[in-house]
Amino acid sequence: MQEHLKKVSAAIDKLLAADRYPQTIRPDYLRAAVLDYPQNGGKRLRPAILIWCCRLLGGRESAALYPAAAAEVCHNWTLVHDDIIDQDTTRRNRPTCHVALAGGSRSRFGLAAAEADRTGRDFAILTGDIQQGWANDLLLRATEHGVPAKVTVGVMRRFQELANRELICGEALDVEFSLRMLESIGLDEVREMLRGKTGALLRFCAEAGAMIALETDDPETPEVRKLGEFALAAGNAFQLRDDYLGIFGNFEMLGKSLGGDLREGKATILLLSTLQMASAADRNRLLRMLGHREYTPHDLETVRRIMVDSGAAGVLEREEAELADRAKSILKEFPANVYRKCLLELVDYLIEREK
């Protein structure tokens, strides 16, 4: 899988570096911001899922490449906006988009700190907006690379339904949860939010790859629907692992600060399960730790101990494994080839990764 993933990454890197869409973005620092996340790191998992699902069903990689690049750029615009909402300061061991733009605003315009921060957020919002347009442009250009116009329109419609509407609705639910008391939020509500915020784009990638391979504009085609269900299960497992790493991970490997979910009091499956399962003393201790600006190593060790002792960490890991098993079970209904093998290995990677 890793060897094939490197090939996908190289192809996406080359395409994005040479693409004409960003070339006329003005001013120059906005163009640099638009290019920053897409061209600097990232696992390229979404393009890989799209291309491998296409190849799984006998499609051509050249036909899937532009839609795969569109999925990657789409993912990055969601990160830009998500970092603003979450007030994150680092991503991939670099300043987040709005933080970098705020720093540029201070030096470029001589702004005071508060005004520079606001300007950085403003420009970052515009950065994500342009990236969304870039993603649409990339997808539509599939018609120049062998995808019939009718299929491209069908894939674009699915893109708007999943990668835009459902994903943004999931993000909106996540924001809403931050305005509610944690005790009022149910685990199934969080799972529904994850199906949009994390699962929708991965589902689009799997369905788009299948639609391109089968040259259909109908997302209800059985193979398309099944691969969508595979990606949804894998995506939810991926997010549960992400939430776990946000507490139990390693800063140097993750490239972002630990404890962000605690700082925000974010309604994750892990946190809500811990509050339900912990002893009264530990529950109160954990509640008092929510919302801190920073977390020391000792703070994090305390949280980890509560999550493990309550059994919530184990429950999360079991749910991850069940989702992974569901995803792999669906894949095994498809013919055995190298791309099915890659997708099966990808599922294991999603729940075992350390970053």
Here the tokens at position 218 are 């109908």
Residue 19 has pLDDT above 90, yes or no: yes
Report, as an integer, the average pLDDT of 187-200: 96
Q: Which amino acid is at 158?
A: R
Q: Which amino acid is at 22?
A: P
Nearest alpha carbon to residue 210 among 67, 88, 336: 67
The secondary structure of 304-343 as a DSSP string is HHHHHHHTHHHHHHHHHHHHHHHHHHHHTTSPPSHHHHHH
Residue 41 has pLDDT above 90, yes or no: no
Domain around 339 = 2-352
**Mean of the per-residue pLDDT values for the chain?**
95
Instruction: Render pLDDT for 131-180 as a digit per residue (tens, 0 to 9).
Output: 999 999 999 999 999 999 999 999 999 999 999 999 999 999 999 999 99
Q: Are 218 and 224 in contact (CB under 8 A)?
A: yes
What values do phi and psi take at 220, rounded to 5? Answer: -90, 0
Give the three-state DSSP class for 161. Answer: helix
**HSE of 302, CA atoms in CB hemisphere, 13 A:** 16
Name every residue whose Cβ is closer than 8 Å to that of residue 46 and which is 6 or more positions away in sequence.
68, 71, 72, 75, 201, 202, 205
Instruction: Render pLDDT for 259-280 as a digit per residue (tens, 0 to 9).
Output: 888 988 999 999 999 999 999 9
**HSE of 277, CA atoms in CB hemisphere, 13 A:** 19
The DSSP bridge pattern shows strands 94-95 and 90-91 to be antiparallel
- Supply the pLDDT for residue 293: 85
Residue 272, domain CATH: 1.10.600.10
Q: Is the dihedral of CA 8, 10, 13, 18 positive or negative?
A: negative
Q: How far apart are CA 172 and CA 35, in angstroms?
A: 25
- Supply the pLDDT for residue 251: 66
The crossing angle, in degrees rounded to 10, of helices 113-140 and 149-158 is: 150
Instruction: Render pLDDT for 338-347 as a digit per residue (tens, 0 to 9).
Output: 999 999 999 9
Here the tokens at position 275 are 């509050």
Q: Are 201 and 162 in contact (CB under 8 A)?
A: yes
- Residue whose entry in the numeric block shows the structure tokens 């994750």: 268
Residue 254 has pLDDT above 90, yes or no: no
Q: How far apart are CA 233 and CA 212, in angstroms?
A: 22
Residue 257 has pLDDT above 80, yes or no: no
Here the tokens at position 229 are 């269900």
Q: How far apart are CA 103 and CA 117, in angstroms?
A: 8
The radius of gyration computed from the CA coordinates of the chain, to the nearest angstrom, equals 21
What values do phi and psi take at 115, rounded to 5? Answer: -70, -35
Q: How many residues does the chain have?
A: 355
Q: How many CB atoms lie within 10 A of CB 238?
A: 26
Counted domains in the chain: 1
Q: How far apart are CA 21 and CA 319, in angstroms?
A: 41
**pTM, rounded to two decimals:** 0.94
The H-assigned helical ranges of the chain are 2-18, 28-39, 45-56, 61-86, 97-109, 113-140, 149-158, 167-177, 187-197, 199-214, 222-248, 251-254, 260-264, 269-277, 280-289, 297-310, 312-331, 338-352
Q: How far apart are CA 74 and CA 68, in angstroms?
A: 10
